[in-house]
Every structure is written in structure tokens, then in C-alpha cells.
Structure 1
Amino acid sequence: MFVALCVLFMWPSYDVIVADLVSVVIPLVKLKKSTKVVFYCHFPDLLLARHTTFLRRMYRKPIDFIEELTTGMADMILVNSRFTASIFAKTFKHLHARGIRPAVLHPAVNVDQFEKPHSYKLNFLSINRFERKKNIDLAVSAFAMLHTLEGNIHQTSNLADANLTIAGGYDRRLRENVEYLEELKSLAEREGVADRVNFVTSCSTAERNSLLSQCLCVLYTPTDEHFGIVPLEAMAAQKPVIACNSGGPVETIKNGETGFLCDPTPKDFALAMAKLIQDPEMAKRLGEQARQHVNESFSTRIFGQRLNQFLLDVAGNKQD
């Protein structure tokens, strides 16, 4: 809100203003005559807020109304995935009835930051915040089930050398982070794989890149993820991704070409993991194809070109 007020009073004019995350600023910046507004909606905020009690629902009711009202004031609405576009239509029914359809602009990654030499050790990597909605349990259970498939995996695959690294954002001040980490450790104990599951909390960007460079593949376990930047980072690092067959990853991962899209069950994930263990050359090939795919479709260069075209269109300067 403060930034919106600064834009309103401190600068004379703009052709287009891009608003990100919250829509409540849109009516303010549109007070500038002839200024167009593009709103980039990552996910409807009202679906992220809790409506668990009567008081919460009453508190959120006017806020949710204002969100839809102000979102509809944008001259163009962008969303981060086709999945989010479908949720947008179901959530903002009045806007949908008015014929408002958001365009899709997928986020991007800087491919060049992943330039280290690539190795393919028998290490599966999960990168996510330590939150229950990220479904990291699936990675632990799939890794454990992988060992029950040992009789079906070629003996030269050295399954005994395989391990799982679970890394991600962690804040000891957040109760859920602390509790969920302990739950995952307990699950690894119960599954009998605690000695082969490593936990890395709050890893830096450099640590993340190092982990990516040394893994066989990345396990991405959330279901119905709005977009999911981790699969792009993994593929940019030349690693295949095994992910749930829902949400944003369906739009970024080419099944069988840059990774595998699976039902969110330990068995399906374990079977996909077994394929890569049995055929390291497949892992290498999928990784190479993955990097090329990201470079061609999800690089910052491509993102910039697409965003620029959207801005030109909304400003009325359409180019052929």
C-alpha cells in the first residue's frame, strides 16, 4: 500500500503498472489517468486464508469481496499456470461470468546459475519447505518402498548405496516446521531407512545448487501445487524430476522426457525411482533434455519476452 501511494503521488505518469501478489492497490494506482494495470495473480488470496471458524469467516467476508472487486479492475490479469487459471475461474465466479479470463505467464528460472559439473550419484533429493501441505512424507515412504522392490532391481544397481536428502526452508520459530521435521524423522525410523535419510534445514542457494548437482533426480511431492519452481530449478540443473501428476508440474514436466508424472502414492514414485536406478544413462539423458526444455520454455529470457508482449498489448501497442 505504501509503494502504491508513492507511485500515485511521487511520479507523474506511467503507461503500464504491474501489480503483484495483492489486488487492493489496483484502484489506487488507477487514479493516475490513462495508466493501465496488469495484475499478476499467483493464487487467490482468499483460498490461502483460513476460514475455519464463524468469526474468521465473518472477518474474511468483506476482505474476500474486496479482493474479487479490485482484481476485476485490472486491465489485464496474468496467472502463473493453467491450473491457477482454472482455480481463478472457480473462485472468482462473478469475474468469470463477466467474461474475464486471465492469461498464463509461467514463472522462470535463471538457467545460467546452474553451470557446475553434473554427477549422478544414487541420491534422491527433495526440496520443499518443512510444511505438511508439501507432502514430504511421500518421498520418505517411496524411498522405503524402493527397497521392497530390490528383488526386481538389477543387482548391479547398488541400491544399498542409495540415499535420500530432504532439504528446504525451516524456521525453528514456526511450530509446524519444528513438528513436521520430527514427524519426518519418526517416519524414517518406522520405515527402517533413518540411516539413509539426511535432513538439511534452511540450506542456502549455494548449498541447494550443490545438492542439485550431485543427485540422481529430484522428488517433488506436493499435490495440486499452484506452479512449483523447484521442478524448474532441478531441470535447469540437468536433473530429471519425479512429481505428482497434478497442478503446475503437469505444465512444466514432460512425462518420460524430462522426468515422470506419477500418482501421489509411494508405489508409483518408487517404480519411477527404480527406473532411474536401473538405467543411469536414462537419468543423464532425461536431465539433458530437461535443461534444454527449461532453456527453451522457462528461462528468464523467455519470460521477459512474453511479459513484454503482454505489456505492449495492454498499452495498445500491439505488434505483429
Structure 2
Amino acid sequence: MKILLTANYTPFIAGGADYHSQGVLEALREHGYQAELMRLPFHYGEQHITQQMRYVEQLNVQTPNDISVDRVISLQFPTYGVAHPEHVVWLMHQHRACYELFDPATASPELAELKAQVEAFDNHHLSKAKKCFANSPRVAERLEHYNQLSAEPLYHPPYQAERFTCADDWGYIFYPSRLEPLKRQTLLIEAMRYTCTPVNLLLAGEGSQRAALAALIEQYGLQDRVRLLGYCSESEKRTLYAHSLAVAFPAFDEDYGYITLEAMLAAKPVITCTDSGGPTAFVEPDHTGWVVPPEAQALADAMDAAYADRNRTQQLGQAGRTHYQQHNISWNQVVEKLMSAFESKTA
């Protein structure tokens, strides 16, 4: 059976979407399917996005080059606009700039026009899919809220999930993520001003906010307690998880959040925020971590609590790993769910 996956490709920008796409591709092949990943270039900008939506609607994915494709699984906007009678969507997220991140007070006329086009595109194509999954409850909630369409949450494991380990903590809070405004590293740096314990903060990753974050750390005189590590390899990242006291993940309205799952695999509790979206589906307050308001003082209190009672923090981390295991998150389950959806009747 030939299965075509559709996803995006953005040159020089890599992230969780790449692990997601490659993970399901490898899982399908391990289960004996002939699977290929078709990645289409994605460029930001209203005019580019309009052109991309039109392009995917014209693609022939049933018999490309006279080769018959049996099934199509689409992962990203706008690639789920392709037409195929056996089509399932596993939604990473929609084009967020036209949904929960859209602000009519600041949006340009071009973005407002694109918003209407994207909504019509999504309503049409997602409703035609044989079944729609979402990679998290938060993504499913958005789809229901904005498009009145249902999606079943389907979890998948982080990259190399089996390699995460737990080791003695070295007294620091770890946060690996792109240095971008929605990830809110600024909020954590602000919080470090209010901590009462000698807890440290390690920020791994690269992004547009690095210079601004470095300036903020210097402005507050936190150079001895807050470090910007820059790029870390996967092996280095796992070591940093293993020796962390706890893991911070205060991003705004995250879709899924590998960081939460990676922390749980490393048996480390998670500090997240009430408006962080995806992580709140896994983090249970006082059981697997802390869920606090997106305020510097509240985050500082959580970091202090983690440092002040290290035994309790370790217990929360162990509970997190158990919580992860209870969800039966595996690529085997993903393949079973996706392929069984093709056997169901079209709604």
C-alpha cells in the first residue's frame, strides 16, 4: 500500500514539526507500508500564502507521474488542501496568525483579507477529510472554536524518547526552546529577579530574541544565574534535562509541546502557565508540576518551591514519568489510529 504524507518545508527553520513528520514516516515504513513524505515550501506573507493555498488545490496526488497513491495523510496547513478520496488529516496546527493570534486592532488590511480566505479554505478542506485528528487537545479545541469542526487528539512521542534519562539535579531550571516572543523567555528572566533561593536558569536555543534577552539579563545583573546556552545537540539537551531540577515551559498557547513530554521522560516536574495551552493537558498541579498565572512573581514562587524542597520536586518528577507512561504514547498507537480511520465511513 502506497501512503503519501504531506507537510511543509521552510528553509533553515527546523523544529518539532520536522520530528513529527519524520517520525510518522519512519513508523509507517516500519509497519510495512510504502510511505513517502511530500514537503512543500512554505513562505510567510499574505500574498505567498494565498498562492500556496491555490497551488495545493491543483496538485494531483491520486496518480502523480502515473503512480497510484492509495492513502494520503496530511499534517500541515495548507497541504491538507490536496484532494484524494482516501484522505486523513493529522493537524499539527492551523495558520495561527489568522486564528488565536489574530488581533483586529493591529492587523493589516491584507491580513484581515487573508483571514477570511484561510477560514474558508480550512472549513472546506478539513470538513472533506475522512477523519481529522489533532496532535493535542488544544489544537482540537481551536478547531472546534473557530471552525465548528471536530478532531480527535492523537499524541505522539518526542524524538528519541527512549534515550531520556534522569540523574541527580544540579540546582537549575532548564528551558530549551526557540528564542521567540511566544516562548516567553523574557517572563522567566523577569521571574529570576524575585526568587529567594539560589536557583539558576539555563535557556537553550537560538532565535530572534537572543540579543534582547542577553541585554535584559545584563540589565538585571543576572549574568551569574541566567545563561543563554545557544544551540544544543540532542545529546547535550538530554544531558541538561537529566541534571535539571525542574523544567520551565511558560510559552503562550502552545500547540502540543515536546518540552513537557521530554521533561516527563526525564522524570523532571514542569513549571508552566495557565495560558500555555498544550502543556496544561499533561501537567497536574501539585502532582506532576506547577501551573501558575503568567506572572513573574508566580513563576518565581514555583522555582523557589522546586529548589526549597528537592525531595518533593523529585517525587513530582517521578509522578510525571508515570503519568506519561499511562498515556500509552507510542508510534505503534499512532499508526494503528491513522490506518483504522481509513476503514471508517466518511461522515
Output the TM-score relative to the length of structure 2: 0.73
Is the aligned partner of 1:293 residue 2:342? no
Which of 191, 201, 215 pairs up with 1:186?
Answer: 215
Aligned twin of 2:41: none
Task: Map 1:227-266; keep pairs closer than 5 Å.
Answer: 227-246=256-275, 247-266=277-296
**Offset of residue 206 of structure 1:** 1.1
Between the aligned partners of 2:263 and 2:177, the Cα distance in structure 1 is 12
Aligned twin of 2:253: 224
**Offset of residue 217 of structure 1:** 0.6
Structure 1 residues 78 and 263: alpha-carbon distance in aligned structure 2, compared to 1, 3 A threshold: same
Aligned twin of 2:143: 88
In structure 2, runs of 5+ residues without a counterpart are: 1-5, 7-36, 39-58
Structure 1 residues 48 and 295: alpha-carbon distance in aligned structure 2, compared to 1, 3 A threshold: farther
Specify which structure has the bigger relative contact order, considering alpha-carbon pairs within 8 angstroms and separated by 6 or more residues: 1
Is the aligned partner of 1:12 residue 2:95? no
**Offset of residue 281 of structure 1:** 0.8
Task: Map 1:107-118; keep pairs closer than 5 Å.
Answer: 107-109=156-158, 110-115=160-165, 118=167
In 1, are the aligned partners of 2:201 and 2:226 still within 8 Å (CA)? yes
In 2, are the aligned partners of 1:238 and 1:290 still within 8 Å (CA)? yes
In 1, are the aligned partners of 2:80 and 2:126 still within 8 Å (CA)? no
Aligned twin of 2:308: 278
Code of the aligned partner of 1:191: Y
Q: CA RMSD in A?
A: 2.5
Structure 1 residues 287 and 24: alpha-carbon distance in aligned structure 2, compared to 1, 3 A threshold: closer
Aligned twin of 2:132: 77
Which of 207, 211, 220 pairs up with 2:236?
Answer: 207
| Rg larger for | 1
**Higher percent of residues as helix:** 1
Code of the aligned partner of 2:205: G
In 1, are the aligned partners of 2:98 and 2:111 still within 8 Å (CA)? no
In structure 1, runs of 5+ residues without a counterpart are: 31-35, 148-158, 171-176
Q: Deviations over 1:110-148 (max 9, x none)?
A: 431113x5111111111111101111111111122103x
**Offset of residue 60 of structure 1:** 5.4
Task: Map 1:13-52; keep pairs closer than 5 Å.
Answer: 14=70, 16-30=71-85, 36-45=86-95, 47=97, 52=107
Code of the aligned partner of 1:227: Y
Between the aligned partners of 1:55 and 1:22, the Cα distance in structure 2 is 19
**Paired residue secondary structure (1:126):** strand
Output the TM-score relative to the length of structure 1: 0.79
Aligned twin of 1:315: 343
Between the aligned partners of 2:212 and 2:136, the Cα distance in structure 1 is 31
Which of 128, 141, 165 pairs up with 2:190?
Answer: 141
Structure 1 residues 48 and 136: alpha-carbon distance in aligned structure 2, compared to 1, 3 A threshold: farther
**Offset of residue 296 of structure 1:** 2.4
Structure 1 residues 70 and 262: alpha-carbon distance in aligned structure 2, compared to 1, 3 A threshold: same
